Amino acid sequence: MIVVAGGSGFIGSAVVRRLLAGGQEVRVMTAHPERSRSRIEGMGAAVVLGDVLDASSLAGAVRGAGVVIQTLTFPTFPVEKARKRFTFEEFDHLGTERLVGAAVEAGAKRYVFCSGSGAGPDAPKVWFRAKWGGEEAVRRSGIEHAILRPSWVYGPGDPSLSRLVALYRRLPFLPVVGDGEQRLQPAFVDDVADAFALAARPGAPAGTFEIGGPEVLSMNQVLGTMMEVAGRSKPMVHVPPFLPKLPGAFTRFLPNPPLSPGAVDFITGDALADTRSLLAAFDLRLTPLRAGLATYLRP
Ligand X SMILES: NC(=O)c1ccc[n+]([C@@H]2O[C@H](COP(=O)([O-])OP(=O)(O)OC[C@H]3O[C@@H](n4cnc5c(N)ncnc54)[C@H](OP(=O)(O)O)[C@@H]3O)[C@@H](O)[C@H]2O)c1
The residues binding ligand X (CB under 6 A) are 5-6, 8-12, 30-32, 35-36, 51-53, 71-75, 77, 114, 116, 150, 152-153, 158-159
User: Would you say 67 and 27 are in contact if contact means Cβ atoms under 8 Å apart?
Assistant: no
Minimum CB distance to ligand X, residue 153 (Å): 4
Nearer to ligand X, 234 or 269 (CB): 269
Nearer to ligand X, 24 or 76 (CB): 76
Minimum CB distance to ligand X, residue 150 (Å): 4
Nearer to ligand X, 77 or 296 (CB): 77
Which residue has the closest beta carbon to ligand X? 9
Minimum CB distance to ligand X, residue 232 (Å): 25
Distance of CA 179 to the CA centre of its chain: 24
Nearer to ligand X, 71 or 225 (CB): 71
Minimum CB distance to ligand X, residue 52 (Å): 4
Minimum CB distance to ligand X, residue 14 (Å): 8
Minimum CB distance to ligand X, residue 144 (Å): 20
Nearer to ligand X, 58 or 232 (CB): 58
Minimum CB distance to ligand X, residue 48 (Å): 11
Minimum CB distance to ligand X, residue 65 (Å): 15
281 burial level (CB within 10 Å; 0-12, 13-18, 19+): middle
Nearer to ligand X, 12 or 292 (CB): 12
Rounded to whole angstroms, how far apart are CA atoms 193 and 118? 20
Rounded to whole angstroms, how far apart are CA atoms 248 and 257? 8
User: Would you say 197 and 190 are in contact if contact means Cβ atoms under 8 Å apart?
Assistant: no
Nearer to ligand X, 187 or 227 (CB): 187
Nearer to ligand X, 54 or 181 (CB): 54
Rounded to whole angstroms, how far apart are CA atoms 272 and 215? 10
Rounded to whole angstroms, how far apart are CA atoms 60 and 40? 18
